[in-house]
Structure 1
Amino acid sequence: MSRTRARRSTTLLAAAALASSLAACAGGGAPVELDPDPDKPFVLTGISGLTEVAQLTGPAGINDTEAVGVAGTDLGSMTTVGDRTWFFFGDTFGERAPGTTGGQGGQWRSNVAAWTTDDDPTDGIFFDGWVADGIGLAAPLIEGDHDPNDGSGEVTKIPTAGFAIGDTIYVSCMSVSYWGDPGAWDANRSALVVSRDDGQTWAPVEGIEWPGDSGFVQFATAPVTADGEDWIYLWAIPSGRFGEVRLMRVPATEEAVEDQGSYSYFAGLDDDEPVWSDDLDDAQVVVEGTIGELSVMWSTYLERWIMTYSDAGNAYIREGITPWGPWGEPIELVPGDDYPGLYGPYLDPRYVSDDGRRIYFTLSLWDPYNVFWFAADLDRADG
């Protein structure tokens, strides 16, 4: 095992999503300069103005997703590459009987993806196209094995986050071996798939995976520049919605992303400076709690990191001073009593308004098993 102590920098920059797909980006957004001082105060005091803007998928959605064989789907994590934002969905069904809830139906695909150039989040997001098969139906990026749900094989492959290096797009997927009680499941592994032709075709990244019983199964990503070097930061949780958050990073090059040995894990602090280790077992928890389907981005309004997630009940938001913390207490974002069966609140820096105060996010509802578009205002202490 080797451990490296990162030099304390006077600035930490979140890399920009540039005007073309020839820049390293993950989730888009304008360039952000961050003072990594861990003693800055928390400024997020609450959430207001929660609004269900639109249903994005399914028979009642603003997009005709049934035309591409998407009657029911979930998740919808986002990655902006140039002027396109990609939406990565989980288990998808083209045929669903009336009254069907949850992940079931005919024409099952483990994952599908849509893309859009729509940069106005205020009235919902309208899709421009899909990763499609020869007859125009939404096709899986990489299909799951669809083995029986008994823990002996692979039931499905679920996308959890995406990022890009130049014009190469990477998506993390978890191989689910068993769906258990609500909010609980087991995984074989997490891994990456890659597209080198603007999302038209996808393939596994050979040799890159994390164990299914580790804390590195579901990811959220962001591009970060530290000490003049570009990185992809990846916040990670275990299987299910009851884990804790850990952090790793990899240099923002294709060569590094596709080399398991290039990933390093946040292993704690030394005089407020982050320590990074190449041993996964050294990874330290950066956020405690019961956290599922997380999303992380830099808030230009708060000048802080924000993290959204669900816990098999409500959706929450937290404020972070640096990528490794400290992180504030959870603030309710969407109440489960009003939206039963909610999960997966995903952010993208492209989709904000009012100088970043109003954030927009996808949210899945188990009934009707489709993806919705929500908005909420960030309330700032000095706002």
Structure 2
Amino acid sequence: MPDEHSQRARRVSVGISALLALALSACSGVSSVNVDSNPDKPFVLDRVSNLTEIAQLTGPGAINDTASVAVAGTDLGSMINVGDRTYFLFGDTFGERDPDSIGGQGGFWRSNVAAWTTDDDPSDGIIFDGWVEDEVGLAAALSEGDHDANGAGGEVTKIPSYGFAIGDTLYVSYMSVRFWGEPGAWDANRSALIVSRDDGQTWTPVEGVEWPGDSNFVQVATLPVTEGGTDYIYFWSIPSGRFGGVQLMRVPATEKAVERQVSYSYFAGTDGETPKWSTNIADAEAVVEGTIGELSVIWSTYLDRWIMSYSDAGSAYVREGVTPWGPWGEPIELVSGDDYPGLYSPYLNPRYVSDDGRTIFFTLSLWGPYNVFWFSADLERVAS
């Protein structure tokens, strides 16, 4: 990141407020949003304002000492809340990098790593309390990729897209990448889950639960949702790469259900206002058309709407949803690729908002420095 970016004024400290509608669960640190299936409410998001780059989270010059855990370059940064902790999930990570390196390259390659924090003030950046570490105290892969050669037909890497918690149990959804193609295009073998039952220190595969690499359920954004009195984890899902639309699936929010493939169902349209769910993946219907890159979804109490962030054609966007399956409004630019070339993966977290949800904080990856940065922006409602 150029020096002038890192010298931008940081926001003054602001209080953190919960974005989700229900009370915070003491055991998991997340709350479940009740679904209102009425599709006829108006759109209320007009624009975003006051975009601010607050801090660099990883790499040389960051507010966190990531060199001490051999993290010189990394990306992504989706988040899981459990109790008072938030886990940050990073993708391909390199412990050694030439200062002039561009993108994902370097030595001491791990396919995925994770940091955690109890920092509840996002206004001045996020300070990490610790990492998932190996036996010598360096950032360790949660589930290492095979690191086969690109194009060899095996597994190049395992990239985490998102995670969620059931009580104190942590789950991470990852994609097994087979081939990196042109910018924004890659092929996957499958997507699958790993699980940790010891505060993220060790991870094991969830056997028998996976989705085909050519399906629309390779990269996901998750959120706890209550529908019809039942608690679910919702997965807004896209294919591998950044050139597909969004489909939606759900699973009951229990460990038993999460770890059984037959428990998952797919949004298959509506019957009036009532959503239809099918256990057949072929019945899944798009909820957002377009070319959606790495995405996240949260509930905005400020807007009383769902909001989705993602990257598309080199910029980051946000759009509002009346229900989880739509209608979804037109995309509104969140961060311009002209100002931040090589940006991707704008990830929101319901824990990191302020001003009654008007101000949102999010991670953003920049390809040039190949590291993760912390931003904020204000949501502006349509004038009443």
- State the TM-score, normalized to the length of structure 1: 0.93
Q: Call closer, same or farther: CA 1:321–1:151 in 2, change over 3 Å.
A: farther
Superposition deviation, residue 35 in structure 1:
3.1
Partner of 1:211: 212
Superposition deviation, residue 312 in structure 1:
3.9
Partner of 1:184: 185
- Tell me the alpha carbon deviations over residues 185-241 of structure 1, each in whole angstroms, 9 at most, x when there is no partner: 000000000001111100110000000000000000010111211100100000001
State the alpha-carbon separation in 2 of the partners of residues 19 and 251 from structure 1.
19
Amino acid at match of 1:46: R
2:286 match: secondary structure: coil
Question: Are 1:17 and 1:80, in contact at CA under 8 Å, matched by a contact in 2?
Answer: no
Question: Are 2:78 and 2:363, in contact at CA under 8 Å, matched by a contact in 1?
Answer: yes
1:368 match: secondary structure: coil
State the alpha-carbon separation in 1 of the partners of residues 23 and 144 from structure 2.
31
2:49 corresponds to 1:48: yes
Partner of 2:325: 324
1:133 match: secondary structure: coil
2:118 corresponds to 1:117: yes
Question: Are 1:14 and 1:223, in contact at CA under 8 Å, matched by a contact in 2?
Answer: no
Structure 2 counterparts to residues 1-383 of structure 1, below 5 A: 17-21=24-28, 28=30, 32-382=33-383
State the alpha-carbon separation in 2 of the partners of residues 14 and 374 from structure 1.
23
2:144 match: secondary structure: coil
State the alpha-carbon separation in 2 of the partners of residues 218 and 96 from structure 1.
27
- Tell me the alpha carbon deviations over residues 122-167 of structure 1, each in whole angstroms, 9 at most, x when there is no partner: 0000000000001100000000000000050000000000001111
- State the TM-score, normalized to the length of structure 2: 0.93
- Tell me the alpha carbon deviations over residues 241-288 of structure 1, each in whole angstroms, 9 at most, x when there is no partner: 111000000000111000000000000011121000000000000000
State the alpha-carbon separation in 1 of the partners of residues 171 and 81 from structure 2.
12
Partner of 2:5: none
Superposition deviation, residue 20 in structure 1:
3.1
- Tell me the alpha carbon deviations over residues 340-365 of structure 1, each in whole angstroms, 9 at most, x when there is no partner: 00000000000001111000000000
State the alpha-carbon separation in 2 of the partners of residues 86 and 207 from structure 1.
25
Q: Call closer, same or farther: CA 1:59–1:371 in 2, change over 3 Å.
A: same
2:294 match: secondary structure: strand
2:293 match: secondary structure: strand
Q: How many residues align?
A: 365
Question: Are 1:69 and 1:94, in contact at CA under 8 Å, matched by a contact in 2?
Answer: yes
State the alpha-carbon separation in 2 of the partners of residues 68 and 255 from structure 1.
35
Superposition deviation, residue 31 in structure 1:
5.7
Question: Are 1:15 and 1:224, in contact at CA under 8 Å, matched by a contact in 2?
Answer: no
Q: Call closer, same or farther: CA 1:31–1:196 in 2, change over 3 Å.
A: closer
User: What 5-or-longer segments of structure 2 have no aligned partner?
Assistant: 1-19
State the alpha-carbon separation in 2 of the partners of residues 211 and 33 from structure 1.
30
Amino acid at match of 1:331: I
Partner of 2:4: none
Identity of aligned residues (%): 74
- Tell me the alpha carbon deviations over residues 306-358 of structure 1, each in whole angstroms, 9 at most, x when there is no partner: 00000241000010001000000100000000000000000000000111100
Q: Call closer, same or farther: CA 1:132–1:45 in 2, change over 3 Å.
A: same
1:94 match: secondary structure: strand
Structure 1's consecutive aligned runs of 4 or more residues displaced over 4 angstroms after TM superposition are 13-17, 30-34
Amino acid at match of 1:329: E
State the alpha-carbon separation in 1 of the partners of residues 162 and 110 from structure 2.
18
Amino acid at match of 1:279: N
Superposition deviation, residue 14 in structure 1:
6.4
1:108 match: secondary structure: strand
- Tell me the alpha carbon deviations over residues 56-109 of structure 1, each in whole angstroms, 9 at most, x when there is no partner: 000110000010000000000011111000000000000001211100000000
Superposition deviation, residue 34 in structure 1:
4.8
Amino acid at match of 1:192: L
Question: Are 2:306 and 2:324, in contact at CA under 8 Å, matched by a contact in 1?
Answer: yes
